Amino acid sequence: MKIYFAGSIRGGRQDAALYYEIVQQLQNYGEVFTEHIGNAELTELGEDVGDRYIHDRDLAWLKAADYLVAEVTGPSLGVGYEIGKATEWGKPVLCLYRPGNGDERRLLSAMISGCSSVTVQEYQNPGELTRTFEQFLGVPKLMRAAKD
């Protein structure tokens, strides 16, 4: 099973540590194409391989993926674009969102929360997501192996 994980890069790297934790969990279910998104050393300036290369490579990965899991709390044009492509290609899309509270209340774009082919899961800590991942991605790899 192949999972494409999407998280903000030029949209801001403040949640990079959280992306790392999510990628760690997703690796229990399958191969994560984009584990570098959780790398704290990847800044907004990032890999210097050229934007056309990044775009074409990432879309090829997304096309080959079985699922898209996106962290959508920090608004990112690239993540929104990837969600649009994945829904157009009929891929299951799970969006993870931390609504915040009080003064920090955040609202998710209606283009994501209003999209009927996207599942939005609100959460506060990645540790809460195990059930969500099991419902969306099925049983973890280790449990699958034990059954066979």
Q: At 97, phi and psi to the nearest 5?
A: -140, 130
CA-nearest of 124, 130, 122 to 28 is: 130
Query: Please, which of residues 13-42 interact with ligand 6IA by CB under 6 A?
Result: 34, 37
Count of residues that bind ligand 6IA according to CB under 6 A: 19
Task: Select from 9, 65, 68, 94 the one that contacts ligand 6IA (CB under 6 A).
Answer: 9
* Residues 42 to 61 in contact with ligand 6IA, rule: CB under 6 A: 44-47, 54, 58
Q: Of these, 69, 79, 83, 86, which contacts ligand 6IA (CB under 6 A)?
A: 79
If one asks whether residue 76 binds ligand 6IA (CB under 6 A), the answer comes out as: yes
At 137, give phi and psi (nearest 5°).
Answer: -110, -10
Determine, following the binding rule CB under 6 A, whether residue 64 of this chain makes contact with ligand 6IA. no
Side chain identity, residue 127 = G
- Please tell me whether residue 63 adopts helix, strand or coil conformation: helix
Contact 4, 79 (CB under 8 A): no
Binding region for ligand 6IA (CB under 6 A): 6-11, 34, 37, 44-47, 54, 58, 76-79, 82
